[in-house]
């Protein structure tokens, strides 16, 4: 599913990631932990193809991210669900309109079905006609999850996904990820919160980043 080989990401004179080697099999659930600024978000962005590694190789579903054309990268991303704070929305569009635009490559009837299902899954159906700028922090996070799962991805990348959520919504979010994982979807769950001990309780693989290096 995913293979990072001697991957580094350097900006100016600062190494954000250094010599990362990480292999994740299809169907894994990986809890990526570490303090703020340890490189977790950068690692997820490399996997999604926001930018190329400074050195090394990032292979996702058999594809070398750095060698993909824009069209092929776009096709690969249709198989990847992403929850990330700076992967934003069109603020003056409704939740429904944002999902409709995200799913624009699908036939209209299929789009409608996927929007209904994803909004229902995250308990956001009552907010479908509200513009995004009017949503609370927790509702925006629910919408990120709806967008993430709308295309039934093979790989899910989530970065600090439990921000803004109360205990009940945290459970809904995590249960949704676990449900997809049980059906075969690979999940990488990044968090700097030490209180997310549930990951060890449910016996998922833990990978720790410290100073841009992996400690597993």
CATH topology of domain 1-79+154-216: Rossmann fold (3.40.50)
Q: Where are the domains of the chain?
A: 1-79+154-216, 89-152
- Per-residue pLDDT for the chain (216 aa), expressed as one digit of tens each? 899 999 999 998 889 999 999 999 999 999 898 888 889 999 999 999 999 999 999 999 999 999 999 999 999 999 999 999 887 899 999 999 999 999 988 899 999 999 999 999 999 999 999 999 999 999 999 999 999 999 899 999 999 888 788 888 888 888 899 999 999 999 999 988 755 555 555 667 889 999 899 986
Neighbour order of strands in the sheet with 80-83? 80-83, 155-159, 186-191, 29-33, 205-210, 213-215
């Amino acid at each position: 599913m995913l293979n990072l080989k001697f991957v580094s990401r350097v900006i100016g004179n600062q190494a954000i990631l250094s010599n990362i080697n990480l292999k994740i099999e299809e169907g894994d659930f990986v809890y990526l932990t570490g303090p703020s600024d340890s490189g977790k978000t950068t690692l997820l962005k490399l996997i999604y193809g926001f930018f190329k590694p400074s050195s090394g190789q990032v292979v996702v579903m058999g594809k070398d991210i750095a060698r993909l054309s824009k069209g092929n990268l776009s096709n690969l991303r249709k198989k990847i669900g992403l929850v990330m704070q700076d992967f934003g929305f069109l603020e003056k569009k409704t939740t429904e309109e944002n999902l409709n635009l995200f799913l624009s490559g699908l036939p209209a009837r299929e789009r409608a079905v996927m929007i209904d299902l994803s909004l229902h899954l995250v308990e956001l159906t009552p907010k479908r006609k509200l513009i995004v700028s009017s949503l609370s922090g927790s509702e925006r996070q629910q919408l990120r999850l709806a967008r993430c799962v709308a295309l039934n991805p093979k790989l899910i990348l989530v970065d600090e996904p439990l921000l803004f959520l109360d205990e009940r919504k945290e459970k809904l979010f995590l249960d949704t990820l676990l449900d997809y994982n049980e059906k075969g979807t690979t999940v990488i769950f990044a968090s700097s919160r030490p209180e997310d001990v549930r990951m060890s309780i449910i016996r998922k693989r833990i990978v720790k980043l410290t100073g841009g290096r992996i400690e597993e």
